[in-house]
Structure formats: C-alpha cells, structure tokens
C-alpha cells in the first residue's frame, strides 16, 4: 500500500485540522524565541539548514532537550536564572524571580509542541509504588513519504557533531541508525530520541564489521580532540583505517552513499595559507598528532580507492575547527577549555605564545554543510567545510572571557559563588608538540559546488555555547 504523503495527510478530514509536527514547530518558532540571533547579514536566524529543508532554530538548541529531560528528574531543579532563560522565556521579570514551581510542572512555551509526556505503567502484582515511565511523544519530525524517507547510518552519532547531525536528520523525517562505541560519545546527547520509531541506537565499534541495510552513511566515528585522539594513538589509527574500511565495505554491499568526515589536520602545519583542497599538506608522519592526521589521510585514500575500484558513491568533508553545545566539559579543545575555565573563574591556559591561529565555525553551520555535501552531486574531491573567521588563540581566549563576563553582567548566566575567587585571566603555559601554527580554509569550492557559506557569527555561536556550558556546570553542582 502506498504511504500517504504529507500533502495527502493534511487533506484528510481527521488530520486536516492538525498541522504536521514540523509545521506546528515552525509556527511556534515565529513566537518570540528563547534568544534571538542574527546572522552574518544582520537578519534574524529563525531556522537552520542550507539549500534543502530548514529546521526551526529552537528545535536544535540542545539546552531545551536537557531541560525537558530534567522535568522528569524531580530532584533536580534549575536555578531561577536558567528557568527565566530557557523554561519560561515569556515570563515577566517578577515571575522569573519567584520561587521555581514543582519540577513536574515546569513547561517551556517554546517546547509546548515538542515536550515529552510520560505515561506511568504499573506492573500487575508489583507494589503500587513500582512504576515505569514510557515516553510516548517526542520532538516533532517531518512526515516523509516512504519513498522519500532514507535509512541513514551515522557512525559516531552520539558525539558532539554526530548528535547534532542526528537531530537534524530526525527532524527532516529520516530513519536514523546510530552506531557508537561511546569511547568519546555520550548517551545523554541522544536521550530525547530513544524509543522514537525512526531512531535506533547501536552500541558497537566501527573496527568490527556490521551488517545493516542503509541508504546513506555519515562516517564520523573517531575521537576528534587532540587530547582524546592522542590518549590511545593505536586505537585512533585503527578507527580511521579499519573502521573506515568496514564502513566502506558496508557502503559497497548496500550501494549506500558514503560521506567521510575528514579534517583540516590532513594539511598538518600548512605552508600554504589559506588552505585549498588542492594543497597536499605538511604532516609529521610520526609525531604525536600522526595517529589522527595520517589516520584521516589513509581514510581519504581508502574512500577514493573504493570509489575508483568498486564504484562506491563517496563524499569527503574536510572539517575545520568547530565548536558548540554538547562538547563535553573535558573535551580539551580551545573553545570548551576556555569557556569552562572562564565560567569556573579559573585561568585560561594558552599553549605557547598564543599566536597560532584558528578559524572557528559553529556546529549548526557544519551540520548544514555535511548534509548539503551528502545531497550534492560533488564526489570527485574533498570539500573544505570551515569558517574564514581566523584569529589568534590569544584573541579567542580574550573574546571568550569577555563573552562570559558580559553574559554574567546581563544576568543571563549565574554569577561565581561568593567564595570563589575570579582568577579567569590568560595564563601562558608551554607549547604543545607539532601544534599547527595557522589554519584557515579556502572555501571557494564549498561555495561553488554546494552553495554553502557559514551563516552564524562566531559571537552568536559563543553566546549559545557559553549558556549551554553554564547550564551544564550548574546541573553538575
């Protein structure tokens, strides 16, 4: 039987007065959002997404998911600052200052169409106090006709970037299978989808072959922060080599389109600036970063080997420095380290003289770039996905410090506890080995072949990220 399309669904009498879930969410996003954000052209950003389908911004703000889960954790109660920011953004200042209501009654107007409802089930024969909560509704997803709905595997889908990609693909209405070893990923990033009929989470390591039927594979599995990938160099190499070979084998068998998440680190310490895809790089093949840099280079070589030899339909994204909510507090990269230190009133440790440069991209722009590349017809060469907002590490430390201070002064995040001295100043510590001295992508190709350009300013992304980490630290207390 042919599945009803979204249009035919809205034409049926029983459902015609009920807008499709994403439409309801969209209507909602026209209400005042939690925090308005402007893009690089000064226009308000209400949605994320590129040339394809857009998704309301409020849906991809993970802080809302955290709080929807919190609502069910009756012992945890967010502070008045958090509530006024995220739980009841439309409340008057007086209401925001009043004591928090019981946690089970906390509701966010911007979540009202997306909130979870929990139905308790008692078990016959068990004491009445024993009950299970079964999730019956989820964030809204688009209803796609079966023919348009793809079955998509995201390896590393519980990680920082992977979980945002999973969110976007789910909102767009696809069936998403996540394969993650939780080596650096985190189950809580996907908790809001567990139990959804379009979603499946598999604990597994890409270094082991797996039998699945899929239409597309986003292969993201690999620790990405220098601290994490150097912790177990051999494991990082096996993940990049054997893991990529296994996923390419799966793509070959299922005729799935395959996207490799490669990295700007394939350029090493570049002698060309900015770096175009045609530059072959300058990598130390046996230094402490080699496990990642060379691992990703061999992963690219494998990908194009399978494309030429076996006709696998491949895409390669070279991802430059990226940041955003859901980085873990101990991730070890520039943005998370500096934000967490500033929030805790601790020194921001700059390695070396702080004159190395990095170009920072917000995670929602990266996810848009990955989906646009996957959906494009460009398969012949890798494509840089990164921002051209280049700054020295020292300047990013100062920007992050002033972002935290101004959000604090505006009352958007909690002040430091009275007993905690504010020692959040830049502190220079010894340089790390083989740290690339400068990095900025040439994104001409991304613009030409997928029409992609970052929309988020670094400042708007940092504001979101600082609020997220402030909430994380508050909940960890």
Ligand X SMILES: O=c1ccn([C@@H]2O[C@H](COP(=O)(O)OP(=O)(O)O[C@H]3OC[C@@H](O)[C@H](O)[C@H]3O)[C@@H](O)[C@H]2O)c(=O)[nH]1
Comparing CB distances to ligand X, the nearer of 110 and 321 is: 321
CB closer to ligand X, 374 vs 394:
394
CB of 435 to ligand X, least distance (A): 4
Question: Catalytic pick from 229, 292, 306, 468?
Answer: 292
Rank residues 224 and 299 by Cβ distance to ligand X and give the closer one: 224
By C-beta, is 193 or 229 nearer to ligand X?
229
Note if 218 is an active site residue: no
Residue labelled with tokens 């996905």: 385
Cis geometry, peptide bond prior to residue 30 (ω within 30 degrees of 0):
no
Q: Quick one: CA torsion of 108, 109, 112, 113, rounded to 10 degrees? A: -130
Place of tokens 């994380």: 472
Interacting residues toward ligand X by CB under 6 A = 224-226, 263-265, 319, 321, 333-334, 337, 349-351, 356, 358, 393, 432, 435
- CB 339 → ligand X: shortest distance, Å? 10
* 311-to-2, 206, 465 alpha-carbon distances in Å: 32, 22, 41
Q: Could you tell me which residues come within 8 angstroms of residue 35 by beta carbon, excluding any fewer than 6 positions away?
A: 85, 89, 463, 464, 467
Output the CA–CA distances (angstroms, integers) from residue 269 to 264, 293, 322, 356, 374, in the order listed: 10, 11, 18, 11, 28
* Minimum CB distance to ligand X, residue 225 (Å): 6
Per the DSSP assignment, residues forming a β-bridge with 322 are 361
Decide: 397 and 464 in contact? Cβ < 8 Å.
no
Token readout for 36 is: 């308005």
Within 10 angstroms of residue 395's Cβ, the number of other Cβ atoms is 14
Smallest distance, Å, CB 301 to ligand X?
17
Is there a cis peptide before residue 407, judged by omega within 30 degrees of 0? no
Residue closer to ligand X (CB basis): 172 or 222: 222
319: helix, coil or strand? strand
- Encoded tokens for 240: 């990049």
Rounded least distance, CB 64 to ligand X, Å: 26
Would you state the structure tokens that stand for residue 457, as one six-digit string? 């300013």
Give the Å distances, CA to CA, from 79 to 32, 171, 449: 22, 30, 46
Report the nearest approach of ligand X to the CB of residue 170 (Å): 24
Q: What is the dihedral of CA 185, 190, 194, 196, to 10 degrees?
A: -130
- Cα 160-166-168 angle, rounded to 5 deg: 110
d(CA 346, CA 400): 13
**CA–CA dist 177, 472 (Å, integer):** 27
Strand partners, 427: 349
Q: Minimal CA–CA distance to 366: which of 295, 315, 399, 317?
A: 317
Place of tokens 């299970």: 132
From the CB of 397, what's the least distance to ligand X, in Å? 7
- Please give the structure tokens belonging to residue 347: 């020194």
Which lies closer to ligand X via its Cβ, residue 38 or residue 395? 395
Q: Which of 157, 151, 160, 149 is nearest to 219 (CA)?
A: 157
Q: How far is the CB of 389 from ligand X (least distance, A)?
A: 14
Comparison of 138 and 267: residue with beta carbon closer to ligand X? 267
* Least Cβ distance, residue 33 to ligand X (angstroms): 29
Question: Catalytic residue positions?
Answer: 292
């Amino acid at each position: 039987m042919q599945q009803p399309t979204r249009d035919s669904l809205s034409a049926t009498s029983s459902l015609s007065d009920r807008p499709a879930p994403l439409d309801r969410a969209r209507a909602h996003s026209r209400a005042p959002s939690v925090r308005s954000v402007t893009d690089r052209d000064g226009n308000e950003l209400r949605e994320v997404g590129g040339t394809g389908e857009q998704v309301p911004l409020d849906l991809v703000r993970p802080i809302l998911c955290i709080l929807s889960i919190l609502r069910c954790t009756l012992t945890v109660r967010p502070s008045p600052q958090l509530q006024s920011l995220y739980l009841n953004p439309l409340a008057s200042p007086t209401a925001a200052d009043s004591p928090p209501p019981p946690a089970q009654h906390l509701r966010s107007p911007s979540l009202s169409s997306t909130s979870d409802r929990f139905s308790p089930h008692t078990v016959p024969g068990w004491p009445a106090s024993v009950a299970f909560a079964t999730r019956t509704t989820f964030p809204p997803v688009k209803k796609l006709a079966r023919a348009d709905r793809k079955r998509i595997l995201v390896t590393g889908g519980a990680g920082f970037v992977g979980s945002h990609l999973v969110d976007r693909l789910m909102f767009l209405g696809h069936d998403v299978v996540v394969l993650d070893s939780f080596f650096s990923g985190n189950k809580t990033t996907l908790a809001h989808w567990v139990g959804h009929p379009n979603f499946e989470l598999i604990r597994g390591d890409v270094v082991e072959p797996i039998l699945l039927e899929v239409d597309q594979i986003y292969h993201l599995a690999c620790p990405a922060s220098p601290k994490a990938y150097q912790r177990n160099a051999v494991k990082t190499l096996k993940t990049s080599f054997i893991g990529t070979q296994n996923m390419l084998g799966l793509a070959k068998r299922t005729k799935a389109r395959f996207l490799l998440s490669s990295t700007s680190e394939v350029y090493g310490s570049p002698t060309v600036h900015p770096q175009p895809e045609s530059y072959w790089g300058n990598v130390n093949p046996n230094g402490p970063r080699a496990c990642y840099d060379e691992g990703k280079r061999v992963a690219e070589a494998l990908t194009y080997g399978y494309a030429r030899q076996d006709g696998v339909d491949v895409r390669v994204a070279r991802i430059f420095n990226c940041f955003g909510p859901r980085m873990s507090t101990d991730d070890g990269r520039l943005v998370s380290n500096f934000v967490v230190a500033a929030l805790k009133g601790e020194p921001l440790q700059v390695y070396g003289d702080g004159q190395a440069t990095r170009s920072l991209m917000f995670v929602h722009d990266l996810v848009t770039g990955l989906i646009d590349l996957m959906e494009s017809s460009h398969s012949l060469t890798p494509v840089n996905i990164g921002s051209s907002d280049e700054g020295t590490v020292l300047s990013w430390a100062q920007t992050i410090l002033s972002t935290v201070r101004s959000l604090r002064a505006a009352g958007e995040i909690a002040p430091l506890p009275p007993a905690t001295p504010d020692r959040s100043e830049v502190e220079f510590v010894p340089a790390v080995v083989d740290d690339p001295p400068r990095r900025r992508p040439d994104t001409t190709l991304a613009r030409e072949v997928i029409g992609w350009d970052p929309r988020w300013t670094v400042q708007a992304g940092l504001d979101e990220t600082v609020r997220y980490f402030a909430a994380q630290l508050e909940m960890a207390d």
